[in-house]
Structure 1
Amino acid sequence: MGTLDSDPTVADPARAYISAVGAHDIDKIETLFAEDATASFAGQVLSRADWINGLRRLFPALLRNDILEVFTAATRACIVYDFVTDTPAGAVRCVELVTVNDGRITQVELIFDRVAFAPVNEALEQRAKSVD
């Protein structure tokens, strides 16, 4: 787990968020996010509630997040991690740019390989069908 030139006032909440997602800890995630926080990925911008609900939908396939690197610049942290799943995708490398103001996350931007992540979505869809 690397940390290079990292400001703890920015890195710590960002790291806690990625760890909380990996632990499926919605309560912790909610405490870390500002009420007006937004999240973006794949050209979409989501509200705090929509982002957290999206994370919740991924939990059935997510085993953990393995944080590899954390870098900070001003109020932003860049976290590189493996999103480790129980699907054929295995671990999917992700990068999140996390903005922290006054100890709360105000914005996240998720960057990942959508092709590498596709088996995760397929597995979740199959699992949802088998429950119906």
Structure 2
Amino acid sequence: MTTTTPAGIARAYIDAVGAHDLASVDGLLADTLEARVGPGASNKEQWMLALARLLPALLRNDVRDVYEHGDHACVVYDFVTDTPAGAVVCVENLHVADGRITDIELVFDKVAFAPVTEALKERAAAHPAG
């Protein structure tokens, strides 16, 4: 799989997030990105900030499968954390145009992800930004 196909670009994005390589993530996202989790939508800047907030709990992303259809790709992966949640299965449906991701829809089980959110809150409270 090359990184010029929608599936390759999607895989490179998930791998870069898992490697905490936000510079590479930034390069894979279009400036016009719209990312959604449930009813909420984020632009590129908001999405990058959200990813940065998650990285302290993320050990890696283990890709299970990548599907491609036209200019869309779907990645199924385990978001592997150092929290009591362990690995949380996630699915990202992505649209790619001109070699960059323009649209992301992230789907995951919020109940399974709750321990990640709680651990990040506890860590932030224990080490407030100064």
Distance 1:130 1:41 in 2: 27
The one of 4, 9, 18 aligned to 2:5: 9
3-state SS, counterpart of residue 36 of structure 1: strand
The alpha carbon displacement at 1:8 in A equals: 5.9
TM-score of the aligned structures, taking structure 1 as reference length = 0.93
Q: How does 1:90-101 map to 2 (within 5 A)?
A: 90-101=86-97
Distance 1:61 1:40 in 2: 21
Distance 1:108 1:68 in 2: 18
Cα RMSD, aligned residues only: 1.6
* 1:69 aligned onto 2:74: no
The alpha carbon displacement at 1:9 in A equals: 1.0
The alpha carbon displacement at 1:19 in A equals: 0.3
Q: How does 1:11-90 map to 2 (within 5 A)?
A: 11-90=7-86
After the TM superposition, which parts of structure 1 deviate over 6 Å for at least 4 consecutive aligned residues?
Answer: none
Unaligned runs of 5+ in 2: none
Distance 2:91 2:13 in 1: 13
Distance 1:63 1:89 in 2: 12
3-state SS, counterpart of residue 80 of structure 1: strand
Distance 2:37 2:70 in 1: 22
The alpha carbon displacement at 1:42 in A equals: 1.8
Amino acid at match of 1:45: A
Percent of pairs with identical residues: 53
Distance 2:118 2:38 in 1: 17
Amino acid at match of 1:38: E
Distance 1:48 1:100 in 2: 14
The one of 100, 103, 122 aligned to 2:118: 122
After superposition, give the CA deviation of every residue in 1:31-73 in whole Å (9 maximum; x if it has no partner).
0011111100021110010001000000000000000000011
